[in-house]
Amino acid sequence: MKSSDLFKEAMEIFPMGVNSPVRYYSPEPVMFQQARGSRAINVNGKEYIDYSMGFGPMILGHANPEVGMKIKEQVDRGILFGSLTENEIKLGKIIKNAVKSIDMLRFTNSGTEATMHAIRVARGFTGKKYILKMEGGYHGAHDYALIKSGSGTMTFGVPSSSGVPAEVSRTVLVGQYNDTESIEKLFREYGNDIAAVITEPVLGNIGVVNPEKDFLKSLREITEKYSSLLIFDEVITGFRFAFSGYQDIIGIKPDITTMGKIIGGGAPVGMFGGRKDIMEKIAPAGNVYEAGTFSGNPLTMAAGIATLDILKAKDYSQINGYAARLEKELNSMVSEYGINAVVNRCYSMFQIFFNKKNVTDYSTATRSDTAKFNKMFHGLLERGIFFPPSQFETEFISFAHDENDFRATVDAMSAVLKCL
């Protein structure tokens, strides 16, 4: 059956044919049947150089044989026990040893679960009600996180999804990323009742937005001053730029960290961890409830250990350098063709924004020309390059991307950008 027929079937079964909204795009999403290294092949047999890499986790490339072997070995030993296993301890230790701020942790099945539990434990530990998140920060699809700023941006959030009670959104304050004054203002008003500030250290869900100098440091200082907790959501950035968290690169210690994506090697995963005194509040030792039938899943643990074992020996300058060279090429195309666009990059993540101005936060990101991005996306697709299908996602480089991929990508980008 060809892709279009399959998609018609999918539309009968899943809302808009997909199991996660950003996977849908007009006229129909590419349907992949297999992938290896940097390349993914659709059901019609067309090959693409993949820059989505499963939205980040596949940092080693697709179908890494050693990771696959470890998963297969675990399949033969059993795939679910509902009791503690040695591999949970192994993967937990790898993460704890790599990320300085983590004394103890719990595995979950997704980044969404990780941030949901992290927020609950922050509230349980501090006994405070409010959470402060950043406009444009994404922490998964649960009610505490689907909150955007209200009309006066300096007040409580409002639901960004229907179905989220206004009562919940009134417990979430929304600040502006890279705007310390907006955070200080909220703390001046509500500081004694703010349980935690949660932020992605590098925004990765409105394209890539880097922290400005001292912004994250000021979050650390303000939260300490008010006895609030600082949560770094490193679901994307954990093990992405180095064998650690972004926090270790910049030398800031959050109280709680969430991770996902890479630590599961492509299998469903999440993790939250941090200070021992906070993590000890979790049941059964403490009175903050958190649980999951599949948490610490044996297949995920096997994939995660295999991935991090390989990653530990890798030289991250390979993927960071690839992205830096691509950024340079893109910048020269932008100026040569006279396009209103800026390229944002953080190590091995990048995004091209069709925007006249620098993109530093939610409001500048959302002023980008998404129609242009869509044109570029489809132009690249035709030429066998698969970018994540939204201006507000991020391209990821993997260790499988090579010089052939680089040249083919530069040629395709040049042809597409020239026509914009």
Amino acid sitting at position 378: H
Q: Is 110 near ligand PLP (CB under 6 A)? A: yes
Annotation marks residue 233 as catalytic:
yes
Under a CB-based contact definition with an 8 Å cutoff, are residues 172 and 134 in contact?
no
In the 8-state DSSP scheme, what is residue 345? E
DSSP 154-194: TSBEEESSTTS-HHHHTTEEEE-TT-HHHHHHHHHHHGGGE
Minimum distance from CB of 201 to ligand PLP (Å)?
9
Other C-beta atoms within 10 Å of 116: how many? 23
Q: Considering only residues 17, 29, 37, 140, which one is a binding residue for ligand PLP as defined by CB under 6 A?
A: 140
Q: Considering only residues 50, 88, 135, 200, which one is a binding residue for ligand PLP as defined by CB under 6 A?
A: 200
What is the rounded distance in angstroms from the CA atom of residue 279 to the CA atom of residue 359?
36
Using CB under 6 A as the binding rule, the residues of this chain from 230 to 249 that contact ligand PLP are 233, 235-236
- By CB atoms closer than 10 A (0-12, 13-18, 19+), residue 269 is buried
Q: Considering only residues 101, 205, 295, 360, which one is a binding residue for ligand PLP as defined by CB under 6 A?
A: 205
Q: Is 74 near ligand PLP (CB under 6 A)? A: no
CA distance between the termini of the chain: 34
Q: Is 175 near ligand PLP (CB under 6 A)? A: no
Q: Is 344 near ligand PLP (CB under 6 A)? A: no
Q: Is 390 near ligand PLP (CB under 6 A)? A: no
In the 8-state DSSP scheme, what is residue 212? P
In the 8-state DSSP scheme, what is residue 209? B
Q: Which two tokens stand for residue 272?
A: 């939250």
Amino acid sitting at position 266: G
Minimum distance from CB of 141 to ligand PLP (Å)?
7
Strand order in the sheet with 270-274: 104-108, 270-274, 256-260, 229-233, 194-199, 130-134, 172-175
State which residue, 111 or 191, has the beta carbon closest to ligand PLP.
111
State which residue, 290 or 405, has the beta carbon closest to ligand PLP.
290
Annotation marks residue 312 as catalytic:
no
Q: Considering only residues 139, 148, 220, 372, which one is a binding residue for ligand PLP as defined by CB under 6 A?
A: 139
Minimum distance from CB of 209 to ligand PLP (Å)?
12
Nearest Cα to Cα of residue 91 among 283, 303, 402: 303
Q: Is 115 near ligand PLP (CB under 6 A)? A: yes
Annotation marks residue 138 as catalytic:
yes
The residue behind tokens 């350098």 is 321
Per rule CB under 6 A, count of chain residues that contact ligand PLP: 16
State which residue, 138 or 156, has the beta carbon closest to ligand PLP.
138
What is the rounded distance in angstroms from the CA atom of residue 385 to the CA atom of residue 28?
16
Question: Which candidate in 24, 130, 138, 177 is catalytic?
Answer: 138
Using CB under 6 A as the binding rule, the residues of this chain from 34 to 63 that contact ligand PLP are 55
Minimum distance from CB of 284 to ligand PLP (Å)?
25
Q: Is 199 near ligand PLP (CB under 6 A)? A: no
Residues at the contact surface with ligand PLP, assessed by CB under 6 A: 55, 110-112, 115, 138-140, 200, 204-205, 233, 235-236, 260, 270
Give me the active site residues, please: 138, 233, 261
